[in-house]
Amino acid sequence: MGDFSAQRSQQIRKRLDELLPESNSGISSVHEAMRYACLGEGKMVRPTLCLLVHEAAGNPNPALCLDAACAVEMVHCSSLILDDLPSMDDANLRRGQNTTHRQFGVDTAILASVGLLNLAFKVVASCKEGSADARLQIITILNSAIGSDGLIAGQEIDLALFKENEPATDIDTVNWLKTGILFASAAEIGSVAAGASPDVRQAVHRFAGHIGGAFQTIDDLIDKTESVAITGKDANKDDGKTTLVRSAGINQSKLAARRQIEQAFDELSKCNMDSTAIEAYVGKMFSRYIDD
């Protein structure tokens, strides 16, 4: 199982390395920052889910799905660069290394973030495999994940919560916008690359949305309970923010995550796919934190 997910992660990292512009070409510092932000110690959870769903659906367009999975990771890393900026979370550490703006300066970091977003769309639009319609559908799914109902909204609301220290009314919404929707989109993209029916697409979307919710809850738990050596991020960065862990406590959070994983597997069972590998991957991802 460790080997199994490590293999996917390696495959994605190798393809990202090919798709990202070389750091000694053209505008070298932006290129270097794009590579730095994408090729660090990320767990590649979103693109791995994308690949696993596509494989469970028969793996008909592996090259399209791999490029689309890389696009999802680029979108994710692009959003992390912005989240960490001085005018946003003002973070110093991410994935055990300096945040991109600490390493390259704010202006280069912003350009790298925009460069990654642009490259994500380019990779899908110019992929040689898959129908034009499938590629447009994947682009539209990414649009929804990024836009005013996705990551951008999550960031705005998150900032507002942080600034005003508001009550814990909107944790589910923020978790959905900041994490759930890109998980959901990643998995849905895997099913679209495989030509799945609208029903399967929607079930897969809901499945991974629940996984994203559980992931965010566990991430907040880790932030609260683990050392910087484990998280690779600044400690206590969430202290001013409303998270489930902060408002409901550690045990309630574990329960909530467990419930979300059950709901996720319920959705997955509607998809008529051999979901053994997906369930094993998800189980492994959470076992350390939610098992008794």
Which positions lie near its own copies, rule CB under 8 A? Answer: 21, 25-27, 29-31, 82, 85, 87-88, 105-108, 110-111, 113-115, 117-119, 121-122, 125-126, 131-133, 135-136, 139-140, 143, 146-149, 152-153, 155-157, 159
**Given the complex with its own copies, which of 89 and 238 has the nearer CB atom?**
89
**Given the complex with its own copies, which of 144 and 263 has the nearer CB atom?**
144
**Given the complex with its own copies, which of 91 and 278 has the nearer CB atom?**
91
- Residue among 186, 110, 98, 106 at smallest CA distance from 142: 186
What residues pair up with 97 in beta bridges, in sequence order?
94
Q: How far is the CB of 161 from its own copies (least distance, A)?
A: 13
Q: How far is the CB of 21 from its own copies (least distance, A)?
A: 5
**Given the complex with its own copies, which of 56 and 161 has the nearer CB atom?**
161
The alpha carbon dihedral of 233, 234, 239, 241 has a sign of negative
Q: How far is the CB of 197 from its own copies (least distance, A)?
A: 19
**Given the complex with its own copies, which of 27 and 168 has the nearer CB atom?**
27
Token pair listed for 231 = 């998280």
**Given the complex with its own copies, which of 85 and 222 has the nearer CB atom?**
85
Q: How far is the CB of 226 from its own copies (least distance, A)?
A: 28
- Per-state percent for the chain, helix, strand, coil, to nearest 5: 75, 0, 25
DSSP 249-278: -HHHHHHHHHHHHHHHHHHHGGG-S--HHH
Q: How far is the CB of 270 from its own copies (least distance, A)?
A: 27
**Given the complex with its own copies, which of 69 and 75 has the nearer CB atom?**
75
Token pair listed for 1 = 């199982």
Q: How far is the CB of 91 from its own copies (least distance, A)?
A: 14
- Residue among 201, 215, 209, 213 at smallest CA distance from 270: 201
133 exposure class (CB count in 10 Å sphere: 0-12, 13-18, 19+): exposed
Q: How far is the CB of 198 from its own copies (least distance, A)?
A: 16
Residues 6+ apart with CB under 8 A from 25: 31
Residues 6+ apart with CB under 8 A from 194: 53, 54, 57, 58, 59, 60, 61, 65
